[in-house]
Amino acid sequence: MGNTEKAASAGLIRKAADLVRRAGRTPITAGDIGAIARKADLVVVFGGDGTMLRAARDVAGSRTPLLGVNIGGLGFLTAVPSSELPEALKRVWNGEFKFESRVLIEAGGRCNGKMIRKTALNDIVVSRGAVSRMIELDVTVDRELVTTYRCDGLIVSSPTGSTAYSLAAGGAIVSPAADVFALTPICPHALSNRSIILPLSSTIRVRARSPLPSTLLSVDGQIVAEMDLNDEVSIRRSRHTIRLVHLADSSFLEALRRKLHWRGAYV
């Protein structure tokens, strides 16, 4: 599957299908991604992290692994750049890869009179809408009050999502193998409000203290609901996971060095 908004996507999909055929395997390039995942041994995803996030939600709970081919920007979820596609597939056929399980998180509750339940790979965000003023959010963890945030929003990220919006908002970088949430406030009024790392077994409840239309609930960057005064969502670990394919010599720390251009100190 690929991001149809990227001009390079269609050509790369055709190229990949040809490489798959030459290797004596059968490509499936049409149909619903969830249905494809049930029939395929591998799903190759062409795009950036947004395309990978959509694919992850669509195949949630499936054992079929995803191989991300980056034709986007930073691409923390994609395993290989598009220029290395032939070599990457050759290494996959030779068994030179590893599987990496990633947890999903989910949000459920009543928002503006409607029940919602959504799954995310990266993060669940409660934030202000178009109105340019702070919102107030009551946050509890396992029924114990954390605080009432006055802020532009709150990011609840999975381990995978620590390198996404949470990182941009000043949150910690977390290994995707760590069983933790990161709670990161966005532009908090109190400078002492910092990112908090919590066990992934926690249940986090976020209650809106601001009336419509100022509070929005987003899942992996997609707005899913408006929250009215006293609307509450519960965020917890999902029972579903996904599997990513990485080449044998890759690692999370290597990706950090390469993608964030860490080069050590300069004198």
Count Cα atoms within 13 angstroms, Cβ side, for 72.
Answer: 23
Residues 119, 240: Cα–Cα separation, whole Å: 9
Phi, psi (rounded to 5 degrees) for 256: -60, -45
Give the number of other Cβ atoms within 10 Å of residue 60's Cβ. 19
Whether residue 147 contacts residue 136, with contact meaning beta carbons closer than 8 Å, is answered with no
Residue with tokens 């798959």, as numbered in its chain: 20
Whole-angstrom Cα distance, residue 178 to residue 176?
Answer: 6
- The sign of the torsion formed by the CA atoms of 48, 63, 34, 204 equals negative
User: Which residue's structure tokens are 């990112």?
Assistant: 195
Q: Which residues are catalytic?
A: 49
Residue type, 59: V
CA angle 59, 114, 135 (to 5 degrees): 95
